[in-house]
Amino acid sequence: MKIAQDKFLRCLIIFLLTISAWGWGADFYVATSGDNKAGDGSLENPWRTIAHGLSKLKPGDTLFVRGGVYEEESLSVPSGTAGSPVTVKAYPGEIPILCGAAALTGWQQCTDTDDWLDGKNADYANIFRVRAESRYFPPRLVLENDEQIHLARYPKQELAFVERVHHEEASSYDPADPITFLTIDPASDGATDHIIDTKAGRPTEKPDDFWIGGTIRLHSHAAGSWVVPMPITGNSQSESKIFFDSTGTSMEGKTVVHSANKDSYAIANHPHVLSSPGEYGYAETTEYHDEFRFYDGPNETQYQVGDIVRDPENPDQLRIALLSNAWTRDLTSGRHWGRYYVYHLYVWPSESITSGKTTQQIIDALDSGIIRVPVLNTGFYVTYKEHFVIDGFHIRGFYERGIQTRYAPSNGIAVRNCVVEDCGNTGIAVSAVSYTHLTLPTKRIV
């Protein structure tokens, strides 16, 4: 009998070691109806946030995310092993949406004396404005009913965030295509604070200082062939010049190029070029506020600068959330979340929103949350991790990227069945990895 028991125990140990080697892990669950504090991660009692669920995973584990909208950022997936990857995936038959954009409310119809328009736009009655706050400025994209609308610019272009550089002196110039950038004159070569454009019908024909307050978007070869936005400081009609300030941009210390390659430009974000439905502009203010967050339960309590708050870890002590910069940490159980910049967003709504509607009906439609701007940076941001899977997410509306992986030590990173769209920089960015597998549906990746 003892021999049979010993044999059984040996077989059981071998079986357990075998399934461990196979990477059998546990399954956990997240749902918008869950609770990080009271939940245990089970299907019946899920956690609330993806970030909380990811913090509980070990190699071989799978985190199933139920359908719904999750407004989270910088989600980091822990490392698995070659045989036991960590997986975060959509619950079967459901679509979790990871969203970095927030709806704007409090819209008003503009007047001719509005601070930004200031008598410079005869179509002011078609334009509506709202006060917006974000840790990121300027806004890189604006969504109307989950579709990108255009930054007001001249020349206009069909694309919204992504600018196609097409001008009459480009090697690929096609007269049938609309011009999206304007070429500079040879006399611009070597300039550091202006461009010259003497062609007829160009922005340089406008009266002196007509373009102050707008942005020049210079397609600069000296700055790596990037489109560099810079504030316009003036323009001279007699000299056919537009002046700009390159301080703090990738053009700082560099020159305008015409001889070897031909730089080109567009005018953007000025009241004079906000002239069609489906366009927007913005105006910076000097306002800002800082925010401090305590991590206490499924919902983070938020405090603004100057608020007197009670320390959750020491309930008998009060603290003042008064921080001098964006990264000061004063309280034991929280951190400074960031500085929020205040700006005004101006939108000429699309005809699908305005056609046949009264002004109040248009305002009601805007206040229902159909205009959204990115307020979160990056959806999944994974550094120094390997052997993980991201599967089945719809990711949209982030200021920078939907998914970014950096400095993975080895390999085994898989992104499957994900839709990534409407992000202000790139949809998916992968760097410094030896093997990454991307399986994406045939849908626009912006």
Q: Which of 14-23, 59-68, 228-237, 430-439 has the lowest mean pLDDT?
A: 14-23
Alpha carbon distance 413, 434 (integer Å): 9
Residue 221's contacts (CB-CB under 8 Å, 6 or more residues apart) are 257, 260, 261, 263
| 162 found inside a domain | no
Between the alpha carbon of residue 136 and those of residues 102, 182, 288, 386, 424, the distances in Å are: 12, 29, 11, 30, 11
Q: Which of 80-94, 150-164, 327-341 has the lowest mean pLDDT?
A: 327-341
Residue pLDDT, tens place only, 433-443: 554 555 444 33
If one compares 340 and 292, the residue with the highest pLDDT of the two is 340
How crowded is residue 44: how many other Cβ atoms within 10 Å of its Cβ?
7
What integer pLDDT is reported at residue 333 of this predicted model?
44
Categorize the per-residue pLDDT at 345 as very low, low, confident or very high, splitting at 50, 70 and 90: very high
What integer pLDDT is reported at residue 339 of this predicted model?
73
**Beta strand 128-134 pairing with 334-348:** antiparallel
Alpha carbon distance 344, 133 (integer Å): 9
What integer pLDDT is reported at residue 18 of this predicted model?
45
Contact 179, 200 (CB under 8 A): no
Which helix (H) or strand (E) element contains residue 363?
helix 359-365
Alpha carbon distance 413, 62 (integer Å): 15
Contact 348, 127 (CB under 8 A): yes
Contact 64, 34 (CB under 8 A): no
Mean of pLDDT values over 301-323: 46
Domain closes at, from 330, 354, 374: 374
* Residue span of the structural domain in which 29 resides: 23-100+377-439
Residue pLDDT, tens place only, 80-138: 998 899 999 999 999 999 999 999 999 999 998 888 988 889 999 999 999 998 888 88
The reply to whether 41 and 84 lie within a common domain is: yes
What integer pLDDT is reported at residue 384 of this predicted model?
84
Mean of pLDDT values over 24-39: 92
| 312 found inside a domain | yes
Q: What residues pair up with 54 in beta bridges, in sequence order?
A: none
The reply to whether 297 and 370 lie within a common domain is: yes
Average pLDDT of the chain to the nearest whole number? 82
| 399 found inside a domain | yes
Look at the chain and report how many structural domains it folds into: 2
The reply to whether 389 and 360 lie within a common domain is: no
Alpha carbon distance 252, 229 (integer Å): 12
If one compares 311 and 371, the residue with the highest pLDDT of the two is 371
Between the alpha carbon of residue 339 and those of residues 136, 137, 328, 378, 432, the distances in Å are: 9, 11, 11, 17, 31
% of the chain surpassing 70 pLDDT: 74
If one compares 39 and 163, the residue with the highest pLDDT of the two is 39
Whether residue 57 has pLDDT greater than 50: yes
**Statement: the pTM of the whole predicted model exceeds 0.75:** yes
What integer pLDDT is reported at residue 329 of this predicted model?
37
Sequence length of the chain is 446
Residue 196's contacts (CB-CB under 8 Å, 6 or more residues apart) are 184, 185, 187, 188, 204, 239, 240, 241
The reply to whether 281 and 148 lie within a common domain is: yes
Domain closes at, from 332, 352, 374: 374
Tokens, residue 235: 């323009």
Q: Read off φ and ψ for residue 335, nearest 5 degrees.
A: -155, 160
Planar angle of CA 419, 78, 339, nearest 5 degrees:
70
The reply to whether 339 and 289 lie within a common domain is: yes
The reply to whether 287 and 421 lie within a common domain is: no
